[in-house]
Amino acid sequence: MTETTTANESPAEAAHLKANMRKVALTALAGTSIEWYDFFLYATAAALVFPAAFFPEATPTMGLILSFGTFAFGFIARPVGGILFGHFGDRVGRKRTLVIALVLMGVASTMIGLLPTYATIGIAAPILLTLLRFAQGLAVGGQWGGAMLLVTESAPADKRGYYGAYAQAGAPVGVILANLAFIIISATVSEEFFQAWGWRIPFISSVLLIGISMYVQLNMEETDAFKELEELKQKRLDEAGTHAPIRRSPVIEALVKYPKRIALAAGAFVSVQVNFYILIGFILAYGSDPNGGGMSRDTVLMAVLVASALQIPTQFWSSSYSDRHGRRGIFMLGAALTGVAAFALFPLVDTGNFWLSVLGITAGLCFLGMMYGPQAAFFTELFSTEVRYSGASLGYQLGAIIGGAFAPTIATILWAEYSIIWVSAYMAFASVVSIVSVAMLTETYKTSLSDI
């Protein structure tokens, strides 16, 4: 599908293009949902299972910190994945690179489900767990750029935000699937079996992601923007003949051409990451702790699940709004409201009441969705076609490591050493960083992706 729909398009052609766009969007949603399911599954397990399974000799608090530390290792890998997959995504295409990322995630997550614990192989268990988490991070570092560009570069210009929200919706859907998996397994087996074997089942089921990757490979076409770029490059090569210049890596090209935009894109993403991983990861430990919310594990999981479900329509609404009125305004409003909501979150969870906890978590995730929904289109429009995969991925993944990598760990330390109000202050500070970063970027929603 091209940037705009031509006036002489027949109704049949328009219907075909719309159906094709829907297929691309739903496929991106399916792929990113399972990909994020695998990544968030680890966050849930890190809060509820891994401290005892892989760090049994540590105190409960230190075990939780060490577990969240392995969780952070996946974020360290994400910029590496963004660089690696960004290079090939800009060189060989969005589709093939996305397929490789999906397969890598499916294999790594399945192997986590098969991994022996500390009681079986000792210190090798947490080491192998960390390495597999690193592989998950590499996969996510490559997946987001591929799925996001597959949708936004195929969408009509006036609906780029809306269709980009399909790729972004994979995150809350992944949270729902991950939490639902743990709730179902926990409800159907004994606690003893859950801690020993039950937690493995959701990870092993990740093998389904390999099947989705094969579908993408066999049924999806490369984006028009990338095809146009390839045609232009071939034309230039034909004109230059044997004197064609040697091109730099797209990653280096992006860093040289857009250093400020990459840095500001990373800053814009900080609030999303800090707040998101506290709202879906740390909150599980806090809400089920006697010194916190004091609720059962399944109650907190269900609260996060309900809140994540409500986040999805918020993302689609804010993305559609950004198509009409611009990306920056709705993004900054979401950041401001997320910072305010952080101070209501823990008092509501402290009540131990399920619905008040849902209210606190929902407010945070829905306001966060006002940023995350339009982000796919926003980041796509910041960079030109030849370095778009690399530039958008670098901004996204650098923001992820700065904001999300250590958010649960920092929140745990602030809670243990000081008080829970400092966790709220930390969340609000991240929101200020995002507001300032977006304010320093220009508006993009009328940008043409055909400009190379």
pLDDT band at 243, cuts 50/70/90?
Answer: low
Residue 175 vs residue 366, higher pLDDT: 366
Which stretches within 153-244 are classed as H helix?
A: 160-168, 170-188, 191-193, 200-204, 208-219, 224-240
Phi and psi for 359 in degrees, rounded to 5? -60, -45
Q: Is residue 5 part of a domain?
A: no
The mean pLDDT of 32-51, rounded to a whole number, is: 79
Q: How many whole angstroms separate alpha carbon 389 and alpha carbon 81?
A: 12
Calpha distance 326→69 (Å, rounded)? 38
How many domains, the chain?
Answer: 1
Q: What are the two backbone dihedrals, phi and then psi, of residue 360, each rounded to the nearest 5 degrees?
A: -65, -45
Q: Which long-range contacts (CB under 8 A, 24 or more apart) does 359-363 make?
A: 361/279, 361/283, 361/303, 361/304, 361/307, 362/306, 362/307, 362/310, 362/311, 363/337
SS3 state of residue 309 = helix
Could you tell me the CATH number of the domain that includes residue 342? 1.20.1250.20
Residue 138 predicted with pLDDT over 80: yes
Separation of first and last alpha carbons in the chain: 17
Q: Which residues of 305-327 are buried (b: 16+ CB within 10 A; e: fewer)?
A: bbbbebbbebbbbbbbbbbeebb
Token representation of residue 231: 């045609």
pLDDT bracket for residue 93 (50, 70, 90): low
CA distance 364 to 280: 10
Q: pLDDT tens-digit profile of 422-434?
A: 999 999 999 999 9
What is the pLDDT at residue 248? 64
What's the pLDDT score for residue 291? 83
Average pLDDT estimate for 30-42: 78
**CA dist list (Å): 210 to 8, 30, 179, 380:** 41, 12, 21, 26
Instruction: List, in order, residues 6 or more apart from 4 with CB less than 8 Å away.
Output: 156, 157, 158
Burial 104-124 (b: 16+ CB within 10 A, else e): bbbbbbbbbbebebbeeeeee
Supply the mean pLDDT for the chain. Answer: 82
Residue 236 exposed, middle or buried by CB count within 10 Å (0-12, 13-18, 19+): exposed
Round to whole Å and give the CA distance between 140 and 86: 12
The owner of tokens 């992944």 is: 174
**Which pLDDT value is given to residue 233?**
55
User: What would you measure as the largest C-alpha separation in the chain, in angstroms?
Assistant: 73
Half-sphere exposure of 81 (CA within 13 A, CB side): 31
- Please give the single-letter amino acid code of residue 247: R
332-390 pLDDT, tens digit each: 999 999 999 999 999 999 999 999 999 999 999 999 999 999 998 899 889 887 788 78
3-state secondary structure of 8: coil
Residue 308 forms part of a structural domain: yes
Within a 10 A sphere around the Cβ of 54, how many other Cβ atoms?
Answer: 26
Domain that holds residue 281: 19-439
Asked whether residue 381 is assigned to any structural domain, the reply reads yes
Burial of residue 17 (CB within 10 Å: 0-12, 13-18, 19+) is middle
Q: What percent of the chain clears pLDDT 70, i.e. is strictly above it?
A: 86
Q: How confident is the model at residue 55 (pLDDT cuts 50, 70, 90)?
A: confident
Q: How far apart are CA 75 and CA 439, in angstroms?
A: 26
The answer to the question of residue 446 being in a domain is no
Most confident of 98-107, 140-149, 363-372: 363-372
pLDDT reading at 6 higher than 70: no
Separation CA 132–CA 138 (nearest Å): 10
**399 inside domain:** yes
Choose the weakest-confidence range: 57-71, 217-231, 242-256: 217-231
Residue 25's nearest CA partner among 376, 405, 360, 423 is 376
